[in-house]
Amino acid sequence: MAAKPIEWLPLPETNGSVKLQLLDGGSFIANYAVLHAGVKDESFRMYNWAFHIFHHATNRHILWDLGLTSNPNDYTPWVNKFLIDVLKPVSPKLSISEQLKQRGVNVEEVDSVIFSSCGHAHWDHSRPIREFFPNATGYFGPGTTDFCSPGHLVDSNCQWDGRFFDPENKTETWEELNGPWEKFGPFTKALDYFGDGSFWIIQAPGHMPGNLCAVVKLEDGEWVLLGSDCCHSRELFDGVHEIAVWKQPDGSTSSLQADLCAAKDTIARIRIMERDLKLSIEFNSPTVAMSSIVSENKALRFGVIGPAGFGGSYLCLELINRGHHVVGISRNPGKLGSHERYTPISADVSTQGIEELALVFENLDVVVNEYGPHSAGADALQYMPYLEVARKIILAIKLAKVKYFIMVGGCGSLFMPGNNYESVLENKGWWLAYRRAIADSEAHTSYMEERLGPMGTGLRKYRIARLAQRTGEGTAETKQIIEDYEGYVRRNDRALEFITGCRTSFMFFDGNTSFRWTFVSPSALYRPGKRTGNFEIRFDELPLKGDEKDPTNLDDRLHGISAADLAIAIADEGELQTKCWRHWSAFADLADDTPTPSYVTLIPSSHI
């Protein structure tokens, strides 16, 4: 008797959407013979993914899974005894908390952790959350309580975590999802989590009781299904292989899917989601990465406008070291050096037309605008020429249909904290506080001398005078130098005109969703420095030390970042593309004031 065809509903009409960010959940050693029936014994590394879901309408932050950890205390004795030595789990390079922090999300903002990528209690998806996300409630799928209780605190031979499932001794705050359940596509039980059709939690039986998958609608209208352990490889999903079943020592059979019939039915329904409803399907798969969110280990073609300049040279080196191909676009891109993954293209963005530039940008996955006229000296720091270049680049990007555009602007377009109408440049104390801060840094002063000629020389004299005043060695002459320099800054600083142009350029982007862009404004003290990989992300507002709600005195309160660390942040964004249509900044600890070269080349060197 033929199986009854699966009926399905069209996707719901909704204006709701969420922002979905992929998080590295670590990895472990798996074996193809455990996944696919009839294949040879062959080990591989299985990558584990977690997701951050942000619902803008309610300002809620949700985690879907927590990934792995190398800390044995996070696992039950059963897992440590039978799985850890065999599967050798590896934590992500940055913890989930740290990855969120880099994206501008504090752990206190996370209110829900839904276990897991497949919504269940297995070791590679769930672990205690109270220590890491103190305000979050954990959620499991229906049937988890009956299947997993009471857990290892009662029976040390149980794999399930009693910190969740022991009714008397539990330490974690959690609930079992209880609906209301309704039909969604080919599935019969789905929960509209936010109530606006943007995030659906779906009962997907097979792997174990409580197993879930999820569907999200992204801001660009794309629908994505998070399938995880509903299916363990694309080959299983496509029918190339059958699900593996093997015999245990006691003669019983086992499989990664506890209920084979239910698992096959779930996979059939997910196939409808892809084939008929055109969803992107994402599994924890050894052969398929998270295609609609990030292409792991895929070399992208980056175009960098201004590849041999200050920020551009550090960025090109970062991208090439990651295995990407870089097309350098400037009047003299060969200054950066040569490399098999570097293609210099001579083009002048200030004089060439839009169609000419579009031809240069064709077939690039990501274009990063690091253009700045500083190399031409102080006279090049002008308002209107910069805006005209920005306008042409944007139109050429759209004409060439570049997939993602990263605009590197100045911090002048950021808002003062707590005031969405006052930009940094409109704060009366900011510009002088900025000049004082860079003068107090030997690294920054050296950089400005190298980059801006006479303007840098004036800064050096100002720095020496400030140091003399601070150490009690000041004279009438040093006092006059300070007064003259600060008076000039207030009246006629050429760089201020250019930074004002950078601020105005953000108007080309703000509210514009006609192409995919992100706008990064380095924090105020952006200079050469060491590559640390430790930085924080801030959206829309100027990062400040101390009480950010107090804008009255900005002296000694400005943050900064090295060009090498900003290059990491930009490269990450080019790969992950999680900040589309957002304005953001990055900042780090600049306590090390050792002067570092203003430009790097493709020749390996010890300073990066």
268 C-beta neighbours (distance < 10 Å), count: 12
pLDDT of residue 43: 77
Look up the CATH superfamily of 18-283: Ribonuclease Z/Hydroxyacylglutathione hydrolase-like (3.60.15.10)
Res 2: pLDDT: 58
Predicted local confidence at residue 147, as pLDDT: 75
- The answer to whether 13 and 24 are in contact (CB under 8 A) is no
**How many Å apart are CA 452 and CA 374, to the nearest integer?**
7
Q: Map residue 191 onto helix, strand or coil.
A: strand
Q: Is the pLDDT of residue 582 over 70?
A: yes
CA distances from 156 to 80, 86, 162, 221 (A): 11, 19, 9, 47
What integer is the mean pLDDT of 497-509? 76
Residue 225: alpha-carbon gap to chain centroid: 20
Cα 137 from Cα 122, distance rounded (Å): 18
For the ranges 11-20, 135-144, 577-586, the one whose mean pLDDT is highest: 11-20
What's the pLDDT tens digit per position in 419-462? Answer: 877 878 777 788 888 889 989 999 998 888 887 666 677 889 98
In the structure encoding, which two tokens stand for residue 300, read together? 């992208």
Question: 386 with 497: CB under 8 angstroms?
Answer: no
Percent of the chain with pLDDT over 70: 89
Name the one residue in this structure whose structure tokens are 């006092």.
479
* Superfamily for the 301-423+496-587 domain: NAD(P)-binding Rossmann-like Domain (3.40.50.720)
- Other Cβ atoms less than 10 A from the Cβ of 391: the count is 13
* pLDDT (mean) for 536-547: 88
Query: Does 1 score more than 70 pLDDT?
Result: no
Segment of 128-137, 191-200, 563-572 carrying the highest mean pLDDT: 191-200
The whole-angstrom distance between residue 275's C-alpha and the CA centroid of its chain comes to: 29
Distances (CA, A) of 438 to 183, 319, 519: 60, 28, 24
Domains of the chain: which residue ranges?
Answer: 18-283, 301-423+496-587, 424-494
Tokens, residue 112: 């829900």
Residue 297 confidence class, pLDDT cut points 50, 70, 90: very low
Higher pLDDT, 321 or 352: 352
Most confidently predicted of 50-54, 80-84, 245-249: 50-54
- Please say whether the beta carbons of 229 and 117 come within 8 A: yes
The pLDDT of residue 256 is 85
Q: What is the 3-state secondary structure (H, E, C) of 207-239?
A: CCCCCEEEEEEECCCCEEEECHHHCCCHHHHHC
State the pLDDT confidence band at 384, using cuts at 50, 70 and 90.
low
Average pLDDT over the chain reads: 84
Among residues 580, 585, 587, 568, the alpha carbon closest in space to that of 54 is found at: 580
* pLDDT band for position 245 (cuts 50, 70, 90): very high
The reply to whether domains 18-283 and 301-423+496-587 share a CATH topology is no
